Structure 1
Amino acid sequence: MAVKTWSSGRKIALLAVVCALAAGGGAFAAAAPGLAQAAISSEAGSPARTTPGLAVPVVAPAELDAAPADGAQQVNPAAPVSLKVKHGHIERVALTSDDGSTIDGTQSADGAAWTSSGDLKFNTRYNFTYSVVDDAGRQTHNTRAFTTVSTANEADAAIYPLDGMKVGVAQPLQITFSEPVLNRNAVEKAIKVTSTSGQTGDFHWFNNNTVRYRPQNFWAANSTITMDMKMFGVELGKGQVGNFNKTVTIHIGDKKVAVADAKAHTFSVKVNDRPAGQWPATMGDTRFPSARGFLVFMEKHLVEHMDASTIGLKPGDPAYYGQLDVNYATRLTPSGEFIHQATESAMPYIGKANLSHGCIGLGPEAAKWVFDNMTTGDVVQVVNTEGEYANFDDGFGDWNIPWAQYAN
């Protein structure tokens, strides 16, 4: 009886060992009666396994990394749309907008990555559809949608001088953005300025919307400046994104620099550092002294209408002059300082006294010479005046800012 019981227990133990070996998939299991004839299903025809089974080795399912995320909004249109696959390859990709336009892309040689090759549009919904096959032949199809930055978050800019303009050696380059710029470093990196003279310069921000660029000294005469702006997709801050790329070419003319001396009552000009003329002048009186420092020529008018009320003068004021027209007017500041032909009543004082309201008054011959020979971007340095420097936003007072401060 004891032997019989021992024998049964041994049989049970042996059976347990067989089961364990079969479960482990060892050599014994492969040769076990009945198992050798069992059909092994294909990995391609079965769900992906995460644990070992009868098929050896296990084929891992494809892992996908797609950008942007499904349902994403305010996507930067310059950011590439991408798809990466691990344990498989890309079979087909389509990136289309709701209006039917298609964006092309580039696929890697191993078929494991795809990246869009063109910029997207602003304020547009896109569908990103793709098919992927894993290493076992199983296919995955998916479509995701996203929307790019809205029109309200597009940032544009006005650029001066305009493309192709010819200006004087003192003309700074100015960019005025439609939206405030908080990421100033990103904007500066997106703008490359080169000169045929080899000059380099620096940016100076006057406020969050306006930045200018100039070299340490005046531009080289008869050089060419190129401003290459890659602003599309540049993030300005607070969700605002640049919507343009643009190249602007500016031509610099001869070096024409004038000096207006309020004490000597003279106006003299040098062209390419050679004297070109000197004439008597009258400038701002003690109540309205001419602004000091460098003033850059802005625009010219053969006849300019002036109104005393625009500078706060009223009838009864000794300085009130009503309304009058002046000839050969060259603007120096938006606030109203000009170089122009002096009025008839001021002619006797030219070269002798200052009695204007800040303008530089010249005789007919001198005023016409300036009008005919000097242009936007040329410059006059006003000396020996009691006036203050013009405000930074009152024309181009960039040259009155020390270089160490300007380039900081």
Structure 2
Amino acid sequence: MRMKQESRAAAPRRKGWTIAAIGTAAVVVVAGGVGIATAPPWENQAQEPATSSPAAAPRPATSASEAPEPTPRPTPTPIRTAPAEDYSVGLTPTNEAFGVNPDTAAAVTVTGATLEAVELVPRAGGTPVAGELSDDGTAWTATERLAFNTEYVLSYAARDSAGQDRSGTSTFSTVEPANEADAAMFPLDGSTVGTGQPLEFTFSEPVVDRDAVEGAITVTSSSGQPGAFYWLTDTTVRYRPETFWAPNSTITVDVDLFGVDYGNGMIGNFDRTMTVQTHNTRLAVVDNATKTMEVYLDGKLDRTFPVTLGTDEWPSTEGYMVVMEHYESTRFRAESIGLEPGDPAYYPPTVVNHASRLSNGGAFVHEALPAAQVALGNVNVSHGCIGMSPEGAEYFYNTFGPGDVVQILNTDYGPMYVWDGFGDWNVPWTEWVNQP
């Protein structure tokens, strides 16, 4: 890890040694302890005795073999002191780290010193990130989250146990936009929906770690109903209770996805709390055996209407459906259900009134075309939709909205798939909670 050159208050040392004269020996202080060395070379030079008399006659030259052996010096007693505590620094994230999760708590820790100042700022400028120093002064930890796609500079100053000043600087960068993952929920925050509305979460990136994502989403309801997740794809998951939501209840969704790794390094980018309200119970039971729709409000029969359903070639699916959206007027095109001109069942673009969508595949509750009015209550003539009289379609349009439930009986055709609209309630609960 590259660190900024440390500053030292003490005077420069000769080759890293500190020498102090002790009698005729010297103490050499090295990192981690104290030892004894012989006197410096200049102290071993022969010295002439000081005198006021003329200089003494030169000594006769002698060969090296004739030089007398020096008198041995006594070995001093070593000076024993406690070794200085080692100084070290720990950094989170490490210097020059790249793609750091912004949920990481930036930190500086020191050993053998105390921190005197720490600053964490975006390199491009801006407000420093707030942090907190530990009581003993050996650790600083950021108390604010980092931002995505930002390079930070972390600087610190400390004083070690020997009273020397230490300092350093490091840099790191957080997750870039290519690895930033978003998510959205339907229904929208603040919505009021029917009791059959599942919660749907859509992610901008494939979710590999489903447990991590599910663990970051907490759903509670005023009715106390527990629920479970069911994955439709790697980017879509639904949540519902075992039975329909209780009427007039509040559903609270706490999404804590900031910093959650979806897998493959894709990091969630937000936290949010959202609420959804349910209104009273609204159920429309469509029975192919009687060609009628019975409308129940809060469990009581309110209205009955004649209907026409899908033909044998284009049967209506059985089971539960949930109103997805509706249009006062819209245009139906045969191409949307795979028909081309020349097909026996093809029809030209047709405007229909009071249309409420039940499936992605094109099933609606809507006003039957004038030519089909005589079929209501008698025979099936649609391509899988539920056709009604002008009065019945307008009533349904004004009474039922997103999340309200339609149940279709006795068509002898399988239930709508969970992914074809909101067919969630056709999945048995044991299967829902034990999805592979």
Task: Report Cα offsets for 1:48-98 as digits up to 9, x if no partner.
Answer: x32345462222132222111111101001111111222221111010112
Bigger mean CA deviation after superposition, 315-324 or 76-85: 315-324
Partner of 2:230: 204
Report the secondary structure of 2:211's partner residue. helix
- In structure 2, how many angstroms separate the alpha carbons of the residues matched to 1:384 and 1:165? 33
From 164, 175, 185, give the equivalent of 1:159. 185
Report the secondary structure of 1:198's partner residue. coil
Partner of 2:345: 319
Report the secondary structure of 2:132's partner residue. strand
Partner of 1:86: 111
Gaps spanning 5+ residues in structure 1: where?
A: 1-33
- In structure 1, how many angstroms separate the alpha carbons of the residues matched to 2:301 and 2:273? 36
Report the secondary structure of 2:153's partner residue. strand
Partner of 1:68: 93
Q: Is the 8 A contact 2:320 2:423 kept in 1?
A: yes
Partner AA of 2:249 in structure 1? S
Partner AA of 1:388 in structure 2? G
Q: Is the 8 A contact 1:309 1:322 kept in 2?
A: no
Task: Report Cα offsets for 1:263-313 as digits up to 9, x if no partner.
Answer: 221111111111111211110010000122111101111112111232233
- In structure 1, how many angstroms separate the alpha carbons of the residues matched to 2:163 and 2:26? 20
- In structure 1, how many angstroms separate the alpha carbons of the residues matched to 2:345 and 2:385? 14
From 290, 304, 328, give the equivalent of 1:264. 290
Task: State the shift of 1:242 in Å.
Answer: 0.4
1:106 and 2:132 correspond: yes
Gaps spanning 5+ residues in structure 2: where?
A: 1-20, 36-78
Partner of 2:33: 51
1:215 and 2:241 correspond: yes
Larger-gyration structure (1/2): 2
Q: Normalising to structure 1: TM-score of the pair?
A: 0.87
Partner of 1:331: 357
Partner of 1:382: 408
Please give the residue correspondences for 1:1-400 in structure 2 after superposition, counting only pairs within 5 Å: 35=22, 49-53=31-35, 54=79, 56-101=81-126, 102-400=128-426
Percent identical among aligned pairs is: 43
Task: Report Cα offsets for 1:210-259 as digits up to 9, x if no partner.
Answer: 01111111111000111111111100111100011111111111111111
Report the secondary structure of 2:353's partner residue. strand
Task: Report Cα offsets for 1:164-205 as digits up to 9, x if no partner.
Answer: 111000101111000000111111111111111111111111
Q: Is the 8 A contact 2:418 2:427 kept in 1?
A: no
Task: State the shift of 1:333 in Å.
Answer: 1.0
Task: State the shift of 1:39 in Å.
Answer: 9.4
Task: State the shift of 1:36 in Å.
Answer: 7.5
Task: Report Cα offsets for 1:373-397 as digits up to 9, x if no partner.
Answer: 1110001111111333333322111
Higher helix share: 1
Q: Is the 8 A contact 2:98 2:175 kept in 1?
A: yes
Q: Is the 8 A contact 1:62 1:133 kept in 2?
A: no
Q: Is the 8 A contact 2:33 2:84 kept in 1?
A: no
Partner AA of 2:393 in structure 1? A
Partner of 1:16: none
Q: Is the 8 A contact 1:70 1:145 kept in 2?
A: yes
Partner AA of 2:89 in structure 1? L
Task: Report Cα offsets for 1:15-73 as digits up to 9, x if no partner.
Answer: xxxxxxxxxxxxxxxxxxx94799989xxxx76x3234546222213222211111110
Partner of 2:16: none
Task: Report Cα offsets for 1:104-148 as digits up to 9, x if no partner.
Answer: 111111111111111111111111111122222122211011111
Partner AA of 2:329 in structure 1? V
Partner of 1:402: 428
- In structure 2, how many angstroms separate the alpha carbons of the residues matched to 1:146 and 1:389? 54
- In structure 1, how many angstroms separate the alpha carbons of the residues matched to 2:181 and 2:338? 37
Report the secondary structure of 2:99's partner residue. coil
Report the secondary structure of 2:98's partner residue. coil
Q: Is the 8 A contact 1:258 1:379 kept in 2?
A: yes
Report the secondary structure of 1:146's partner residue. strand
Report the secondary structure of 1:309's partner residue. helix
- In structure 2, how many angstroms separate the alpha carbons of the residues matched to 1:319 and 1:61? 86
